[in-house]
Amino acid sequence: MTIGDTFGDTIAEPVRFQDEGWWRSTTFLDDLAAAARDRGDHPALIAHDEAGNATALSYTELAGTVERFASALRELGVGRGDVVACYLPNLWLLAPLYLACHRVGAVSSPIFPVVGSRELGHVLEVTSAKICVTVDKYGEHDCAALLAEAAPETLVHRVVVGDAVATGALDFDQFFVRTPWEERTPVPEADRLGPDEPAQLLHTSGTTGKMKLVVHSQNTLYAAVRAVSEPHRLTPDDVISLPGIGTAMAGLTYGLYLPLFLGATGVVQKQTNDMDLLRDLIEAHRVSWLYTPPIFLVNLLASQRKEARDTSSLKQIVTGSAPVHPQLSADVREVFDVELHALWGMTENGAVTVTRPDDPPGWAAHSDGSPTPWMDVRIDAEPGEEAGRLLVRGASQCLGYLGQREVYDSCVDADGWFDTGDLARPDGRGGIRIVGRRADIITRPDGMQVSTLEVESLLQRHPGITEVVLVGYPHPEIPGGSKVCAVVVPVFPVLSLAELHAYLASEGVAKAFWPDRVQFVGMLPKNSLGKVLRRPLRERLELAAAPRP
């Protein structure tokens, strides 16, 4: 399969983006070449495994690794427009693998390493991926076995980091790392992806009940990278860290492409939830810019309070995926002596709004930031209402959804405005404050999105369930974060939460999408057309979760 240029006409104003300097004629490979030429010995990437062992690559070494990986891909038959799936945690090889795909003209398809066989199989089938690279195990996930189980006939090669023999896969270390393919199979310069060609297929939970594959070019990702590099005044001397998964939008954009664009240093860790390790990395590598979801930030604060490390190198801490609570902002200022910044964005467009160093102190607790010059933001509110639908358009907006053109078109009007599905109000200073999320997507504090329709459709088939809806409710420990409740009209005797989990596991659904609790009701509230009313259910759960006086 080749992706081709089927998404170019979904971009509203490509000429304007070029003329205004919001897009460019060069690519991230050009950034790599410049850094290798001008500061080849400077550390480009430092990656830590779960034991704290580090793999470091200078810009010269990164450039050489990209060429070797690109030649290895070509040796396996990967060419322009082919898809390479990356079912991987944060390993040192992730960044050079993405860049190697750019080098041979292939499209990379990052996949969360915690998804189950069902989601994995769906992505591999929809993308017609030629190759999938994974690890043997990641925590309790037997990724190699899940890949062997889920692989469709269109997948030509399974490549495993670690024990490849157990599942009959190709050994990544032996084939990609140790073999000097660049000496045997050089890749022509003409094969490189251009800046406007499809480059990444990022998956996200879908409002239609199906996972969506969001198509980005290097130019849309370039605009997303600039959304934080410019307002936060980052330079090649910065050290950037992000514990989030490098196969998600934030981890990919700010953990991998942002340091490359700047010629700076990126620090990543395999165990993304290990805040003790993150604290050690901040001290050891003098991290200056940190992005972390709220749940990790709360745990990082607790870790630092328990046993302090030297974090004086930090200049800025940034968070997203949930509104910032005033106490969280105050805690960051107290413990780390820096301002907490907020950003808002989606897989479809990266960061769109950000708070800035010249905003008032504590502003992140009141605002999700103002838009970058290359992104337009509009709040479509009803007369007399302050809050309304949040619409965006601009240079970091994705090219479309792979295989779901009609779904993407339904979200974009004739003037190019993309309906985000979120609700926002003005913040009083030219920015926005998110006040509500789409009804059928629940965002956990770590940024993982739960598609209610997808999980509901599976649970609905269980013989012990008459009707079911998933509803988000406040996380008891993370202000602004949500947990997931399954509201069930049961067939008696009722099912336990453990039985629901076992059923979802048997269907290949990853734990991240399982409900955290179950609530049984005699009937679901509905309107006159028979549509379930989620709001009263949500309000009831919010009341139950509220602290007692």
| 104-153 tens-digit pLDDT | 999 999 998 988 888 899 999 999 999 999 999 998 889 999 999 999 99
Across residues 14-18, what is the average pLDDT? 79
Across residues 505-509, what is the average pLDDT? 86
SS3 state at 240? strand
Band of residue 205 on the pLDDT scale cut at 50, 70, 90: low
Band of residue 167 on the pLDDT scale cut at 50, 70, 90: very high
Considering the entire predicted model, what is its pTM?
0.83
Decide which of 510 and 411 is more confident: 411
Residue 230 buriedness (CB in 10 A; 0-12 / 13-18 / 19+): middle
Question: Is the model's pLDDT at 328 over the cut of 70?
Answer: yes
Band of residue 508 on the pLDDT scale cut at 50, 70, 90: confident
Separation CA 25–CA 5 (nearest Å): 17
Residue 175 buriedness (CB in 10 A; 0-12 / 13-18 / 19+): middle
Task: Tell me which of 286-300, 347-361, 479-493 is least confident.
Answer: 479-493
Delineate the domains of the chain, giving CATH numbers in brackets. 15-27+218-438 (3.40.50.12780), 441-545 (3.30.300.30)
Band of residue 491 on the pLDDT scale cut at 50, 70, 90: confident
Separation CA 438–CA 429 (nearest Å): 25
| 411-450 tens-digit pLDDT | 999 999 999 988 889 999 999 998 766 556 677 877 777 7
Q: Quick one: pLDDT at residue 466?
A: 83
Q: Quick one: pLDDT at residue 222?
A: 97
| Partners of residue 135 on adjacent β-strands | 161
